[in-house]
Structure formats: C-alpha cells, structure tokens
Amino acid sequence: MIKVAVLGATGYAGIELVRLLTAHPEVSLEILGSQSFKGQKISEVYPNLAGILDKECEEVDLERVKECDVAFTALPHGASKTVIPALLETGVKVIDLSGDYRYDDAAVYEKWYGEPHSSPELLQESVYGLCELHRERIKKARLIGNPGCYTTCSILGAAPLLAKGLADDKNIIIDAKSGVTGAGRGTNPFCECTESTKAYKVATHRHTSEIEQELSNISKKEIILSFTPHLIPQKRGILATIYMNLTKPCTTEELQKLYADYYKDEFFVRVKKAGELPETKHVAGSNFVDIGVCVDERLNRAIVVSALDNIVKGAAGQAIQNMNLMFGLPEDTALKHAGFYL
Amino acid sequence: MIKVAVLGATGYAGIELVRLLTAHPEVSLEILGSQSFKGQKISEVYPNLAGILDKECEEVDLERVKECDVAFTALPHGASKTVIPALLETGVKVIDLSGDYRYDDAAVYEKWYGEPHSSPELLQESVYGLCELHRERIKKARLIGNPGCYTTCSILGAAPLLAKGLADDKNIIIDAKSGVTGAGRGTNPFCECTESTKAYKVATHRHTSEIEQELSNISKKEIILSFTPHLIPQKRGILATIYMNLTKPCTTEELQKLYADYYKDEFFVRVKKAGELPETKHVAGSNFVDIGVCVDERLNRAIVVSALDNIVKGAAGQAIQNMNLMFGLPEDTALKHAGFYL
Amino acid sequence: MIKVAVLGATGYAGIELVRLLTAHPEVSLEILGSQSFKGQKISEVYPNLAGILDKECEEVDLERVKECDVAFTALPHGASKTVIPALLETGVKVIDLSGDYRYDDAAVYEKWYGEPHSSPELLQESVYGLCELHRERIKKARLIGNPGCYTTCSILGAAPLLAKGLADDKNIIIDAKSGVTGAGRGTNPFCECTESTKAYKVATHRHTSEIEQELSNISKKEIILSFTPHLIPQKRGILATIYMNLTKPCTTEELQKLYADYYKDEFFVRVKKAGELPETKHVAGSNFVDIGVCVDERLNRAIVVSALDNIVKGAAGQAIQNMNLMFGLPEDTALKHAGFYL
Amino acid sequence: MIKVAVLGATGYAGIELVRLLTAHPEVSLEILGSQSFKGQKISEVYPNLAGILDKECEEVDLERVKECDVAFTALPHGASKTVIPALLETGVKVIDLSGDYRYDDAAVYEKWYGEPHSSPELLQESVYGLCELHRERIKKARLIGNPGCYTTCSILGAAPLLAKGLADDKNIIIDAKSGVTGAGRGTNPFCECTESTKAYKVATHRHTSEIEQELSNISKKEIILSFTPHLIPQKRGILATIYMNLTKPCTTEELQKLYADYYKDEFFVRVKKAGELPETKHVAGSNFVDIGVCVDERLNRAIVVSALDNIVKGAAGQAIQNMNLMFGLPEDTALKHAGFYL
C-alpha cells in the first residue's frame, strides 16, 4: 500500500483527490491536512464521504508526513513553495497541484507571478506532470508540478498539430470555457454565476505561460499565443476551442487521422471521429480528455475542440495518474471509470 | 462472472445501470437492448462510455437472453409486463425497474394503473426489491419489482417511526422534491425547467400506492397518506420531507436514536446526527440514502428528511444491490463509492 | 414626483427595488445608500443599470433623507431598528424590508429574535405591509414592516381557508421551497448550491412566527403550525405547498371557487383553475402570487400551492405596492408587468 | 395605436415579443397567430401573462391581418418566405425574425440554405434590420429581415475596428457562446444541457454568411471569417469573443476610445471602460449590447467581447426597435429598461 498525505484536503481539488483515492486499491490515506477544519472529520465537512472515510482532518506535522510515501499538496496559491522543500527533506515524493513547480525557467515564473521563485533549484528538478507528454521523466521524479485544468486541456488539444509543424505559430488562439470548480472553493456566489457567462483576465492569465512553455517545447519554436479564459455556469468542465492556421492544406479527415495517430496509445485521450465534437458532460467525473477536430477549408484553419473535467484530469485525477506512474502501478488505476453523463 | 442483459439500455435508468455495471468486477455485460439505437455502439449514444464500453446495442432476441443469468428491464411504462413472462421462461432471473411487478395485490395495481394486470400470478411471485426491507426474500427471488425513486426515499424515511407504532397513521404527509432524471429521457426542456419549481399530480401520483403498501406492511395497519411530488431544477436527487404526528412526546435526540438503531446494520442508509440534515449533493452519484430527523416540540410532530439519487438508489444502484443479493455477492459490490459532491 | 431614498441599495432586495423604481413614472430616486460601495456609481456595482441609472452610492446623511418623502430600508438583519427611529423623526415615511417591524407584540419578537425590541412603541404603530390583507391601514401608515418572501407566499396561500373556518387549525403544515435570492447577497457558493436541495432551520425558522401571527388574526384563533424552509437551485422563486385538513368535505372545484372569490378583487393574486398548479417561472420577475388548490378526497385534506418571486412580491415589489398605497397612486404602478417566463 | 399581428406567437421569440409588446404604450395586439395553440388563450400556454393578456391564439387569416399596421413573423425556419409575399399584399409592413430576408444577394442565400430563394425581388427590397447600422433605410422599409442573435452580437462587436480599417481581414475569429433560448422552443432537454458545454456546426453555421455580408459592407472588402457557435447551460445570453489582428499597434485605451466614439450616439450599445468586460447577466432581459475591448500587446491582437440577450436584442427587442423606427416612435419605446441581473 502506498501511504498518502493530502495537504489541503478540503479545497475542491483536495476533496476530489480524497474522493478518488478512497476507491484506489493500492492507497492508504494516512493524513488529511486541513488548517480550516483540523479536528473535524472529513465526512462532517463533506458528508458524501460518510461511511466511507470518517477520518479526522489534522494540521500538518512533518514527523507524520515522514511515514508516508507521497504527499499531494493542494494548497492555496503561493503556499506550496513554502512547504514543499521541507516535505521533500522528509523523503516523501511530492505531487504539487499549484503553479509553483510547473516552470522550466525561474525567469518565466518571476515574470508571470511577479516575484522571484524561492526554490529555483527545485524548480529545475521538478517535472511537469502532464503524463501524456512527460511519462518517462515522471516515473523517476521526486517532485511533480501537476498541471492546471486550462493548461492540460489546451496543451493536449494543440500538441499534435504543432508537433508535426503544421500550424502557423503566429496565430494560435485558445478560447477556453471553464466551469466554476476551476475557481476553487467558495469563490463564486450562485446568484451571480448561474445564468451568466463572462471572459476574464483576457491576455493576462498566468496559465498562458504554462501553455506557451509546453507548446514551445513540442514545436521546438518559441510560441506566443492568445489565451482567453471564460467562466460558464456549470460546476465541472472545460471546453477549449483552439484556432490554428494550417501551413498547408488539409481536410478534416486528414487532421482527424493525424490526431488519432498521435494519441493512439493514450487511454485517457479520446479523439472523436471526423464530424463529431466533444461535450463537457461526456468527460465530467472522468479522467478523459476528448478532442474533436475540424478544418475550415475556406480559410485553411484548424479548429480543435478539447474537453476535460477541471478537477479530475485538470487536477486530482491527473495527480493520481502521476502517482500511479511514480509508483509503478498501472497508469489507469482508480481512474478507469466513465464520466457521469447525467 | 454473472452474464447480464440490460433491456432498455439507453434510457436514463438503463444507461446509469450500464455505467455502474462497467465497474462491477463480477459482471459481464452480454446484451444491451435498445429499440431506438439498435446497431449503434452504446458509446456513440453515450460518449462518456467511449474506451470503456464500445459494445453495440441490439434488439432483444430471447435465444440470446437465454445465455444470460439475469436481465434488467428498464423499459418504457407498460412494456415490462409484455416481455417479462417470456424472459422468465428462458430461465433468467429478472429485475424489473418499472412499476409492473411492485404490488402484492393485483387489485391495487388495477386501481392505480387503470387496467387489469396481465400476469397476476407473476405479481404474486415477484418480490418488492427494497433491499433494506426484504433482503431475505430477495435472495431467493426469480423476479424483482425494483422500487421507484420517490418510493424508496419515502418508505425508508417513514419506516422506523411506523415500525415502532409511534406515528399517528391518519396524518402522514410526504412532500417530495425530485430532480429531472426521475422523469426519464428527453422529457423536460432546459428553458422550461431551469429556474423553475412546480408540484404535479397532487394526490394522484401512482407511487402513492406503493408507499402505502409498504408502510401498511410495516405498521400492520392500513396507511393512507398524502404524497406530493415536485419537480426541481437539478438532474440528480430526491429530497422527501415527511411529516408525522407523534403518538407520544419525544425529543429530536430520542427520535434520532430510534432511527440510528433501526438502520444500524444498513450500509446504504446513513442517519444524520441530531441537528444535521441531508442535502441531495451528499448522495448524488451514490447508492446512499441519507436521513435526518427533527421533532417540532410545539406540535409534537416528527419531521423526517430523506435524500437519495433518483437513478442510483432510486433505480439502477438498487437494481444492482438486488442482483448482488440474488447472486450471493457482497451487497455493496460496485456500489461502495462516495457521491460526487461537486 | 415622490422623492425616494433607498438604504441598503446594493443588497439583492435593495438593487431589485432600485431596478423596479427606475421604471416608476412617479418616483425620483434621490438617495442610494450603501456603506460598502459609497462613492461608486450604482451602475459600476450593477452594470445592468448602465445608461439607465448612473447615480453614485452614498453613506446615509439624515439631512439629505429629510428632503425625501419616503425611505426604503433594505439593511442587514438588525440594522433597521437602529436607524428607523431617526429616519421617522426627519418626517419621511419608512418602508422597512427587515423583520424588525413586522410584529404586533414585542414579546413575540423577543421570543423569536432572542432580544428585547429597542423601539416597542414604533412596533405598535407599524403596519404589517401585506397589501392584500391590510390595505386600508397601509394607506395611512407612517411605518411599514414589509413582509418577507416565505411569509407572503404562505399567508396568502392559507388565508382563504382559515378565514372561512374550514381548516383544522391543529394540522397546518407549510413546506416551502425557496430560490437563492431569498438568502441575500453572496451567501451561497455556486458549486455547493447548484444540483442540490436541502431543508434547513426545520421547526425553528423565524418567519414561522410572522405566519402564525397573521393566520391567527385571520382565523381568530391561535394558530401554531409547522413551517419547513428548503433551499432549491434557482435564483428567483418560492413555492409553498400547504397542507390543511378540512373540517368538512369539499371538492377541488368548491375549494377553487372559494379561493377565486376570496381574491376576486386582487390584481396580484391569480387563482388557478381547478386542475392547474403554479410554477415559479410563471411569476419570476413579477409581483404576482399564483395559487392552485387541490383536495385529496381520500383524506379530506386541502393541498394549496402558492408561488411568488422572492425579491419582487416577496420583497421589493411588495414594498413598491406599499408605497403606491401610501401615496395614493394606483396600486399596480410600475408593477403591472408579466413575469419573464424564460 | 399601432395595430400589431404576431405570427408564431408561441415560440420563444414570439412569446418574448408578445411579453414586451404588452408594455408598449403605442401598440394594440390584434392577432396572436399560432398553429399549435389556436383556440387557446395565450395565458393558458404562457401563464406568466395571466391577468395581463388573456387573448386567444388564432390561425392566421389574411383578411384580419389586413386590418393591422404591422406583422411580426416569428415562424419556424423556411415558413416565412411562403407567407410574407401574401402578407405584404395586404398592405401591412412586415418584420421577419427568420433568416429568409436577411441577404443582399440571392446567391448567398442559395449557397448557405441549399435552395434558390422563392421571392428574390423581395429579398432585394428588404432591409437588414440591424438598427445601429441601417437606421435610415429601416425608417422607410416595408419589409425587415430582423437579424439573428449570433449575428447582432458579432457584427456590432467587430464593426468599429473594421470600419476604421484597423483589422487584418484575413484573421478574424468569432467564438460565440449562446444560451439555450437561441435554439428555440423545446429543443434541448434539461438533463443533457445543464452542466454541459459544446461547440456545434463549426465552420458551417449559416449565420456566418450574414456576419460576413455585413462586415464586408462595413469594411468595403470581402470578409471571410471563422465563426464557432457554442451551447452553454443558461437560458438567456450570448457572449461573442472576437479576435482581430491589428494592422498597426494600438493600446487597450486607444481601442476603447475608438469603440466609445463609434457608438457614442447609440443608446443600446454600451461600451465598457478599459479594463472592464461584459457579462451576460448584465444584459439579460434588456435590449442592450455590452462591448468590452482589450489589446494583447504581445501579439498586437484586439480581443473584443460583446454580450446581448438572445431573445431581446437578438430577436424580439430588436424587432420592436425596428417597428419603433418604422412608425416614427422614439426608438427606445418599451425597450428602455435595465436587465434583470438576478
């Protein structure tokens, strides 16, 4: 059994992680870290867990973490990098769900986060935990920067075309629509959010830099792109619509084949047939990313639509996928279930 | 492996059954019956299943059903009783999700359904599949009348007080609020349903008779009660608020203890502590029924609130629980997971 | 023109009041009081008002209120009674949307609010602003205790049967379902609220006492009843399902006629035909209360369903209806529009 | 009083038209045309209208239309062009809410609708009813092709930059998110629609051609662009995110000024301040279009976000705005109200 600590167990990503881990056959949940709810049973805070996991939340004690094999950190923004160096010293592996360890280059971090990174040497060591792209490095990693929901959805949607060098790298536009779980616990009131859609942080969202980093690596050119996040009135689900001008003519069928080939060995990426498109309800609750492609032949432009669940493949599910890889388990352990649909 | 046929696999109860059965370790899904979608893969109709179950839907052929161990019938109203006699003759066990085989007395069926029952001898044989109440009979049954969502929620909520003879049997009122999955596939348009709540079939809903049958059995008196169904703008979830006048004074704490004792051996019934009440998000996606109780001491009236997921404990999940009992498996196989919460 | 001050203009009731008053032909909005947003334009806080009302919010200054004819107080709980005595001294009339001035008897206030009333003499003077019941007194009032949403819906639904002495006064049960606007600004997060329904404050909600006060007055007997509030995942809309045992047999048609007669001169109360029931989408955005009735003849029990919009007839609309009465305007001024439906 | 006939009064656009016209001081609703509900009162079909408009629906009789001044046609796709020639012969003016009379060129119609136009001479005569662009021609028109919701939102969002010649006309991308009212009555089931988002008709949606026609006229060049419609889980609201590469550098502030100037005399177009963006809840229920702009300086790309209510400015409201213009009334009559917000 893998002994697991979850730090930040009562945020949305944290609790989804806990929920998914209760069904993991090789995991023993040892520590549920929560500042806000210490001393309370997790099943009092999230009564859906009653009868399944009635363990108490606790403040984090490094002596206790030491007994674990892996710690997931699902902490508020900025908190990860203050605690992770000490966690690693206890000998546990760390999968961090924040943005703190996702960058190859400390200067990029500093540019987008507005402050120097406090442990640039760990940033150097950490692996970007997008399993489909960095599987082999993840297997050997001690520290994972688990990617965000917007970034996973965007990167996996754009990767195949860029890998083949078929996209004009100057005109990549990602228009992403996100459900409210992506914003974290308690952030959006029902009455302001239901029946409304908005764009926000246009041209300034931090995840732009993560997407650019990974797509630049894939295309072996520096990619700068437009990324526009939107908030839509649903809980789970991101849909990213990605526009890329083609460098040579291509039909929808050819593009579909290219994508299907690129992901042919990936269980969690489902490329739709030509003419079909993803919907967020097809992936809600699951670790799948669904991708549909279309060519606008009048304009020789590819339009790629990708969808995932913010807190599964976009957070907790991918974190478990990373753990499975790091501990030599089948990659889909505890993740091989269909989305809810309803 | 239990060989399973699902007839009506593409309705809401049917597809939830299929989804849950894909995670059942002892089940082999042999037949996905669907008139409307025969020849199509189930994963084309419900793309959440892609990569997990890509089997074709088919018209039902009794020769093929014969090879199965059990058939679930999740057919449109009235269709079950035309096909079930033939199914039983093939030797399979049948778990029927319709109202057709839920009555002890053919006259009650006729009164509420407006026509004589076509196979009253099977009605006699069939067992009402509310596992918590009829476990021993279910284990030996060949035909199960799997209860509906309103009825499971209402009966389990009222049972303990009636079993103890502590409720005035003349003033039982059940006010139930149901999500839209309870109404079946394609019945309610988004724009008419979202942001709206209504009562319907006041004093005339057929499930009243099922509730009365079971509560009469429990209380050993003829129970006639008021049952009011409401439609609320959510997919999954029923919340039943049950009002019963107490025959002798009692505190909330005493009532809570009575309920907790009554269900102390039931994994799927979670009685809340005094002062806590269920919410449908705590049970959505799970097979649990959550029950909270309260005494209005000014009026010596018990108010019991019970909650479940319409298509899990209220349909597909309970059907699997029945199958587990009938085939000697642990009752919670494939059902021991927490609700989604988010 | 009536000069109006709105204190608490940026809460949900306040902003709905402001929105409705922008379309009132006899009103000049002089003061938009808001502690939290003073110095900001109301149309910056609520951009739906841009181009229509771009007035600044301000802290309340009694010298400026003095110039007004009427002040609406839509303040946080408990704040009204600290400011209203001073407001009245400036000579303005006051319509208070809080619970502070809704009681005939200071002892009842004290019992349910847990502290003595600070201005019992004003409580004595204030009129309960349920226009359909107290129209003549409202016309002459200086201080109105504008009723809440649950109470308006419940009282108007139960009144006719109690006025005729046809209900057993020991078994009145009101099961009310409320949208989230009823809970006020910023109180319920989207992800916790959507796709979920719950009961809360069972047998202890303060509005029980208001309902009992008014129904006791109507029936000329002391009424004690069960009131159960529920939160449902929609913004606007309350649906109250009211159960009353009949003291003599009666058909649905007879009951419908009784209700239709009782409200025959009331523009804002629409009694449905026998066999029809209200839905909250029929009243959302409007000042109407829709009422449907049904008799469960097996039990000789009346089931009355009433519906209104929490922040219109349940708050801001009714407040304007009170103002219209107090200033001799047609009662439906600025309120004679249909609900949105969509 | 303007005598009005509404043909197709019970579809979503039709009923919104009827609802808004009940508050129009210069209109007398003479005919409510409905095939499906003839003989029934409109207030039985849409009970929100009870007490306000209890008129019967009727089959259309040209003799009765003749008595009217204007007919609105809100008919199912394709039906308009079979009835409008006859309507015009009765002497009434016609405002058509379908796509049938929105084209300058019959060949474009034929290309996108797949069949020749049956009355090309009327197509020649008809005026595209986007009031902000064609006000003077609308005033004199006999036949209006009232634009759709996607098109109004997209055209008004892109127009200023194209009019100034500041956008690269080869890289215009419009990513539009629409609420479900845009799809018409009864088209989308609640359970399939709530909690889900999808793109559809990528690169093939007919409204692309309308947008291209109008933007080509404005820019005096042939514009071909990408238009991607999405369905989002809300009733009212379209948000269009428009990407245009700038032909010369420009700041957000400069772009904002350009937009504000372009629309400075337009009551119904509200240009947000630099740094602010529209949300659909700000326009829901109103005839406003809200537009926010942003420049991604790294890429010299303008990102314009525009929002409106599908069935008000995107259908019924704009139709009334057209009528007001055609009959010499103030353009904002019956339309000068704020959106609901809640």
Each residue's pLDDT tens digit, B207-242: 999 999 999 999 999 999 999 999 999 999 999 999
Residue A153 annotated to the active site: no
What residues of chain D lie within 8 A of the CB of A302, using their CB?
A: none
Residues of C assigned a catalytic role: 149
> CB–CB of D288 and C51 under 8 A?
yes
What residues of chain B lie within 8 A of the CB of D180, using their CB?
A: 190-191
State residue A186's pLDDT score. 79
Tell me the pTM.
0.97
ipTM of predicted complex: 0.97
Residue in A closest to D168 by C-alpha: A171
What residues of chain B lie within 8 A of the CB of D310, using their CB?
A: none
User: According to DSSP H, which parts of chain A are helical?
Assistant: 12-21, 42-45, 62-65, 80-89, 106-113, 120-125, 131-139, 149-163, 190-193, 207-219, 252-262, 280-283, 317-326
Which of A187, A191, A195, A311 has the highest number of chain C CBs within 10 A, making it the mutation to test binding with C?
A191
What residues of chain A lie within 8 A of the CB of D232, using their CB?
A: 177, 197, 232-234
Contact A174, A158 (CB under 8 A): yes
State residue A184's pLDDT score. 86
State residue B76's pLDDT score. 85
> CB–CB of C187 and A189 under 8 A?
yes
State residue D77's pLDDT score. 81
What residues of chain C lie within 8 A of the CB of A188, using their CB?
A: 189-191
Region D202-222: what's the mean pLDDT?
97
Using the predicted structure, report yes or no on whether residue A222 has a pLDDT greater than 90: yes
Using the predicted structure, report yes or no on whether residue D78 has a pLDDT greater than 90: no
State residue C298's pLDDT score. 96
What residues of chain B lie within 8 A of the CB of C171, using their CB?
A: 171, 245
Catalytic one of B57, B68, B131, B149: B149
Using the predicted structure, report yes or no on whether residue B198 has a pLDDT greater than 90: yes
What's the pLDDT band for D188 if we cut at 50, 70, 90? very high
- Least CB-CB distance to C342: which of B191, B232, B234? B191
Q: Which amino acid is at D214?
A: E
**CA of D71, closest CA in chain B: separation in Å?**
26
> CB–CB of C203 and B243 under 8 A?
no
**CA of A286, closest CA in chain D: separation in Å?**
14
Catalytic one of A57, A131, A149, A153: A149
Using the predicted structure, report yes or no on whether residue A14 has a pLDDT greater than 90: yes
**CA of C322, closest CA in chain B: separation in Å?**
27
Residue in D closest to A179 by C-alpha: D195
Task: Report how far residue A141's alpha carbon sits from residue A134's, in angstroms, rounded to the nearest whole number.
Answer: 10
Interface of C with A (CB under 8 A): 12, 180-181, 185-195, 233-235
Size of interface B-D (CB pairs under 8 A): 47
3-state secondary structure chain D: CEEEEEECCCCHHHHHHHHHHCCCCCEEEEEEECCCCCCCEHHHHCHHHCCCCCCECECCCHHHHCCCCEEEECCCCCCHHHHHHHHHHCCCEEEECCCCCCCCCHHHHHHHHCCCCCCHHHHHHCEECCHHHHHHHHHCCCEEECCCHHHHHHHHHHHHHHHCCCECCCCCEEEEEECHHHHCCCCCEHHHHCCCCEECCCCCCCHHHHHHHHHHHHHCCCCCCEEEEEECCCCCCEEEEEEEEECCCCCHHHHHHHHHHHCCCCCCEEECCCCCCCEHHHHCCCCCEEEEEEEECCCCEEEEEEEECCCHHHHHHHHHHHHHHHCCCCCCCCCCCCCCCC
Share of chain D above pLDDT 90, in %: 97
> CB–CB of D190 and B188 under 8 A?
yes
- A88: three-class secondary structure by DSSP: helix
- Least CB-CB distance to A228: which of D233, D279, D303? D303
Which of D108, D196, D300 has the highest number of chain A CBs within 10 A, making it the mutation to test binding with A?
D196
Using the predicted structure, report yes or no on whether residue B186 has a pLDDT greater than 90: no
> CB–CB of C195 and B236 under 8 A?
yes
* Chain A contact partners (≥3 CB pairs within 8 A): B, C, D
What residues of chain A lie within 8 A of the CB of C181, using their CB?
A: 191
Q: Which of C191, C106, C210 is nearest to C153 (CA)?
A: C210
Interface of D with B (CB under 8 A): 12, 180-181, 185-195, 233-235
Task: Report how far residue D249's alpha carbon sits from residue B121's, in angstroms, rounded to the nearest whole number.
Answer: 84
- Least CB-CB distance to C239: which of B197, B237, B295? B197
**CA of B126, closest CA in chain C: separation in Å?**
28
> CB–CB of D189 and B186 under 8 A?
yes
Catalytic one of D57, D68, D131, D149: D149
Burial per residue of C277-308, b for 16 or more beta-carbon CB atoms within 10 angstroms, e otherwise: bbbbbbbbbbbbbbbbbbbbeebebbbbbbbb
Residue in A closest to C195 by C-alpha: A235
Residue in C closest to B303 by C-alpha: C202
State residue D270's pLDDT score. 98
Region A30-56: what's the mean pLDDT?
97
> CB–CB of C190 and A12 under 8 A?
no
- B280: three-class secondary structure by DSSP: helix
Per-block mean pLDDT, blocks of 10 residues, chain C (342 long): 98 98 98 97 98 97 96 92 96 97 95 94 97 98 97 98 96 98 90 97 96 97 97 98 97 98 98 98 98 97 98 98 98 97 96
> CB–CB of D194 and A279 under 8 A?
no
How many of the other CB atoms lie within 10 Å of CB of A300?
14
> CB–CB of C243 and B173 under 8 A?
yes
Using the predicted structure, report yes or no on whether residue D291 has a pLDDT greater than 90: yes
User: Could you report the per-residue pLDDT of B254-311, keeping only the tens digit for each?
Assistant: 999 999 999 999 999 999 999 999 999 999 999 999 999 999 999 999 999 999 999 9
State residue B137's pLDDT score. 98
What's the pLDDT band for D155 if we cut at 50, 70, 90? very high
Which of C169, C170, C173, C246 has the highest number of chain B CBs within 10 A, making it the mutation to test binding with B?
C173
Share of chain A above pLDDT 70, in %: 100
State residue D192's pLDDT score. 95
- Least CB-CB distance to B239: which of C197, C281, C342? C197
> CB–CB of C230 and B177 under 8 A?
yes
D5: phi then psi, degrees, rounded to nearest 5: -110, 135
User: Could you report the per-residue pLDDT of A250-294, keeping only the tens digit for each?
Assistant: 999 999 999 999 999 999 999 999 999 999 999 999 999 999 999
The burial class, CB within 10 Å (0-12 / 13-18 / 19+), for A217 is: middle
- Least CB-CB distance to D342: which of C12, C195, C270? C12
Contact B144, B99 (CB under 8 A): no
Size of interface A-D (CB pairs under 8 A): 149
> Judging by DSSP bridges, how do beta strands A226-231 and A173-178 pair with one another?
parallel
- Least CB-CB distance to B202: which of C198, C236, C277? C277
